[in-house]
Amino acid sequence: MRTTTYSFLDLAGAIIHPLYPGGPYLFTGEGVGSANVNMLTERTAHDVAADGSIMVSKIAGNNGQIIVECQQTSLVHKYLLGLYNYLVAASAGEWAMAAVSLRNVSDGTSHIATGMSFQKIPDKQYQAQGQMVNWTLFAADIQSIAA
């Protein structure tokens, strides 16, 4: 019987904006609960005619979103908050210049997301126990690369 092993610690990557004075953020997973890659374009559609014949459409589009769930005290949250605040004050031309690269070193798969922009600043709760915050970044293009 063949077994495989997965560890979130095998996730590596970077978040970068070429003009952000804070530089890139090297993503090691520290302080992160999860990183989700979601494709948003449905790549096919089936139209049914009155006689039951099917027309299949192949739809172009690699846009999607990356959702990073992280501890409210983590370095990645502080980095994303700094980048968000920078971009809110920057020219509109800088808004979607960020990119994210994620790679699972154990299985060799990776995602490269470009044309990144923030959906909004995440909701934040103030209470006795520290919480997780969710950053949603939209991507104009996400490439999924298999090992």
Question: In this predicted model, what pLDDT tens digit does every residue of 32-80 receive, in sequence order?
Answer: 889 999 999 999 999 999 999 999 999 999 999 999 999 999 999 999 9
pTM over 0.85: yes
- Return the CATH number of the domain spanning residue range 8-145: 2.30.110
Q: Which whole number is the average pLDDT over 100-121?
A: 94
Categorize the per-residue pLDDT at 2 as very low, low, confident or very high, splitting at 50, 70 and 90: confident
Residue 85 sits at φ, ψ, to 5 deg, of -65, -40
Mean pLDDT of the chain: 94
Instruction: Find where tokens 């800088």 sit.
Output: 94
Q: How far apart are CA 65 and CA 68, in angstroms?
A: 10
What single DSSP character describes residue 105?
T
Q: Which whole number is the average pLDDT over 116-140?
A: 95
More confident residue, 147 or 120: 120
Phi-psi region of 32 (alpha: psi -120 to 50; beta: other; left: phi over 0): beta
The secondary structure of 119-147 as a DSSP string is S-PPP---SSS--EEEEEEEESEEEEE--
Q: Where are the domains of the chain?
A: 8-145
